[in-house]
Chain A
Amino acid sequence: MCTTCGCGQGEGRIEGDEHPHAHADGMIHSHAHMHEHGIGQRRMVQIERNLLEKNDAFAKLNREQFAEKGIFVLNLVSSPGSGKTTLLTATIERLKDRLAIAVIEGDQQTTHDADRIRATGVPAIQINTGKGCHLDAHMVGHAAERLNLPQDSVLMIENVGNLVCPSAFDLGEAHKVVILSVTEGEDKPLKYPDMFAAADLLVLNKVDLLPYLKFEVDQCLDFAHRVNPRLKIIRTSAVTGEGMAAWTDWIESGARAAKNSRSEAPSKPPCHA
């Protein structure tokens, strides 16, 4: 086993220890050159560090700050066009008299979504990721700071429409909620398994359109459970209101739990953001 670059390292259970190996450009080579360091200072340094460690450190910090203030945080993820923002505004309308809600909107460009949220009367802040295709914990920490979130509130983070990258980036949320609309394919959970594996709740949205579509609900849910057997499912339509009570109940019970664990936690000096 190659101890220099570490492939197939240690465990001895990785099949096809591929030295030499082929690169996508068709070039085949071995790592032999790695073992023949020339004169001078050239050397191999073992690193073994996670590419996401910086994000994960910020996410941990966010999570601690949210817990301290009893804030229930959801990271809403989906493909573009799943109806996230419409669902969000309908959710806010139902909850804003009972809960303090704030929203962080992530999009590559424009403040359209934050404008739509602000029209409901709750504070919202837009993050434009520019070239980035997802929010990260560092951006969210700063946006949350600027929102000056009250104790025991709910923070909804609408991530950039993308079922790939946001799955890997912890923002410090309590739950990832994946929103899938019935106008998409039933097999999305199999096509994008990482996201469905990372989520705790699947909101199957736009169910009012089911009579006009060939979407097989049971098959879709079966696919989702194949990837993640503990995934909870709520079917919603922001237009007819179907399932909205189940969804808002779920949010309220999460918010209560966040509040209770704050008040049960050992008391700390108040946090003045």
Chain B
Amino acid sequence: MSLMEGMLHIMDENAKAQGFGRVRTVILEIGKLAGVEVEALRFAFEAVTEGSIAEGATLEIEEPQGLGWCVECERESSIETRYDPCPLCGKVPLAITGGTEMRVKALDVE
């Protein structure tokens, strides 16, 4: 819910700065390691956008893959969890380099 309120805030600021009055589509980027339940976010989206410039808008959620960097192999691998070992050498944990995003990526507006 707080994340969606953060989104509304960003939307309102941009509406003023860039002069739009209506948001048709919201594109969020929620990484697979961000610890955010995407379905809960969809539910909260409808609740917070009611009566806002994004009422009735479509929500698109991109979910970037988790990525981890192994200092031994000097290689990046895709991972499903924070504690997945390096697929090459088995080292745990990898330094997380992707998949923790929680961003408003773009808005389709008019």
B-binding residues in A (CB < 8 A): 4-7, 11, 13-16, 24, 31, 34, 37, 40-55, 131-132, 134, 136, 164-165, 167-169, 190, 193-194, 197, 223, 226-229
B105 pairs with A43, CB closer than 8 A = no
Which residues of A sit under 8 angstroms from B18, Cβ to Cβ?
A: 45
Interface status of B55 (Cβ within 8 A of chain A): no
A-binding residues in B (CB < 8 A): 1-3, 6-7, 9-10, 14, 18, 20, 24-25, 27-29, 33-36, 38-39, 42, 60, 62, 64-65, 67, 76, 78, 81-83, 92-93, 96, 98, 102-110
A55 pairs with B81, CB closer than 8 A = no
In the complex, 7 of the A-B residue pairs with CB atoms within 8 angstroms, ordered by the A residue number, are: A15-B78, A47-B14, A47-B106, A49-B10, A49-B103, A53-B6, A197-B96
Among A11, A136, A223, the residue within 8 A (CB) of B2 is A136
A192 to B102, CA, bound (A): 18
B62 pairs with A6, CB closer than 8 A = yes
Given contacts A40-B110, A52-B102, A164-B35, 13 further A-B contacts (CB under 8 A): A5-B62, A6-B27, A7-B64, A13-B76, A13-B98, A42-B109, A48-B105, A50-B6, A50-B103, A55-B2, A193-B81, A193-B83, A227-B93
A16 to B10, CA, bound (A): 29
B9 pairs with A226, CB closer than 8 A = no
A45 pairs with B14, CB closer than 8 A = yes
Which residues of A sit under 8 angstroms from B34, Cβ to Cβ?
A: 168
A16 to B99, CA, bound (A): 13
Which residues of B sit under 8 angstroms from A227, Cβ to Cβ?
A: 82-83, 93
B105 pairs with A46, CB closer than 8 A = yes
A6 pairs with B106, CB closer than 8 A = yes
A48 to B7, CA, bound (A): 11
B10 pairs with A43, CB closer than 8 A = no
Which residues of B sit under 8 angstroms from A16, Cβ to Cβ?
A: 65
A189 to B89, CA, bound (A): 23
A44 to B92, CA, bound (A): 41
A136 to B9, CA, bound (A): 15
- Asked whether A51 and B20 contact (CB < 8 A) given A134-B2, A226-B93, the answer is no
A48 to B97, CA, bound (A): 17
Ranked 3 nearest A-B pairs via Cβ = A194-B35, A42-B110, A193-B82
A45 pairs with B27, CB closer than 8 A = no
- Cβ of A182 to closest chain B Cβ, rounded Å: 21
- Cβ of B109 to closest chain A Cβ, rounded Å: 6
- Asked whether A47 and B25 contact (CB < 8 A) given A14-B65, A226-B93, A229-B93, the answer is no
Among B3, B24, B81, the residue within 8 A (CB) of A52 is B3
- In the complex, which residue of chain B has the Cβ closest to the Cβ of A16? B65
A226 to B86, CA, bound (A): 12
A47 pairs with B104, CB closer than 8 A = yes
B2 pairs with A42, CB closer than 8 A = no
- In the complex, which residue of chain A has the Cβ closest to the Cβ of B100? A194
- Cβ of A71 to closest chain B Cβ, rounded Å: 25
A52 pairs with B93, CB closer than 8 A = no
A68 to B98, CA, bound (A): 34
Which residues of B sit under 8 angstroms from A223, Cβ to Cβ?
A: 83
- Cβ of B28 to closest chain A Cβ, rounded Å: 8
Which residues of B sit under 8 angstroms from A193, Cβ to Cβ?
A: 81-83
A43 pairs with B82, CB closer than 8 A = no
